[in-house]
Amino acid sequence: MHGITLPQSGWLAAGFDKNARVPMALARMGFGHVECGTVTPRPQEGNPKPRLFRLSEDAAIINRMGFNGCGIDVFARRLERFRVLQAGRNATLRAVPIGANLGINKIGARPLEDYPFLASRVGPLADYITINLSSPNTPGLRDLQSAATLRDILQAITRANVTLPPLVVKLAPDLNPESLSDIVEAAVEGGAAGLIVNNTTISRPHSLRSSFAQETGGLSGRPLAQLSLQMLRQIVPLVQNRLAVISCGGIESGFDIFERLRAGADMVQVYSALIYHGPALVTRLKAELLKELYRAGFDSVSDLKSSTR
């Protein structure tokens, strides 16, 4: 799949295991892949607290964490230890791919140098690398999603690294639809293998009921579902099977996964649903997806995907 060898079921998005502390435990929970990060070149504390809000009435989360994390040195050492442990475990755990999500520091960032540096550190340790240009909580980060800048960043990464796992670009759901075609072409020309559609949104649907609804930050969870699906349907025709497309945002049921796959996603990721439903979520989603597939007359995800091409 465009160089990405991930199970089609997906699943865990970046943000949960920011510092690569528990990839083994998450793999044991049944996730098809685990994405660690976002990691920055240097450690940083992130934004002042409170910076995370649970909108329980809306099954949503708002965060303005600001890439708080341990920095690339500690992150890489933990991935190295994980790889040693993974090599000694059973075949199921060895088969769980690990992604590394890369970002820039709030102060002193040099994107054309920072992203290649980060990629060189995690390249030997990750099965794929995500370039995060879409968090709303680092000033100026989303400006890097312009087609020209995205192309420059991807080309800088590939020039600086002879051997790399597949590169994936994570996009914001708030992009101007008219810019999507140029962004897709820049991703293709820059050598990306896939797109994650999408990150959190700075928009606020009128349906939100929580008292935290107007907190600053990125909104994720159920209220993001339709916006994410809409962007997926815009991106897929532009991609034309040249990139893998990973759908993320508001997925909390087997039907949600089925709908994203039917809309052209190659795989999905979840995050907020895990916070609300806990570890049992993974088993439930797999069972519900199977029921949706059989109800629609498909024997497998592969059968469904074949019907969408």
Top CATH class of 11-308 equals alpha beta
Q: Which of 94, 73, 74, 76 is nearest to 85 (CA)?
A: 94
Active site residues: 135
Query: Do the Cβ atoms of 103 and 37 come closer than 8 Å?
Result: yes
pLDDT in tens, 138-154: 999 999 999 999 999 99
Structural contact between residues 24 and 93, judged by C-beta atoms closer than 8 angstroms: yes
pLDDT tens per residue, range 5-36? 545 556 899 999 999 999 999 988 989 899 99
Q: What is the mean pLDDT of residues 297-309?
A: 87
Q: Which 8-state DSSP code applies to residue 82?
A: H
> For the chain, what is the largest distance between any 2 Cα atoms, rounded to a whole number of angstroms?
54
**What is the pTM for the complete model shown?**
0.95
Write the pLDDT tens digit of every residue in 33-71.
999 999 999 999 999 999 999 999 999 999 999 999 999
Average pLDDT, the chain: 94
Domains of the chain by residue range: 11-308
User: How many angstroms separate the Cα of 165 from the Cα of each of 13, 126, 128, 204, 306?
Assistant: 18, 7, 5, 36, 26
User: Which range, 10-19, 90-99, 187-196, has the best average confidence (pLDDT)?
Assistant: 187-196
Q: What percent of the chain has pLDDT over 90?
A: 86
Give the residue, 87 or 285, on which the prediction is more confident.
285
Instruction: Tell me the per-residue pLDDT of 193-207, one tens digit each, with 9 for 90 and over.
Output: 999 999 999 999 999
Report the relative pairing of strands 244-248 and 267-270 from DSSP bridges.
Answer: parallel
Q: Convert the pLDDT of each residue in 265-297 to its tens digit.
A: 999 999 999 999 999 999 999 999 999 999 999
Of 62, 46, 150, give the one whose Cα is nearest residue 106: 46
State the pLDDT confidence band at 1, using cuts at 50, 70 and 90: very low
**pLDDT tens-place string over residues 237-250:** 999 999 999 999 99
Q: Tell me which residue of 126, 131, 129 sits closest to 86, measured CA to CA.
A: 126
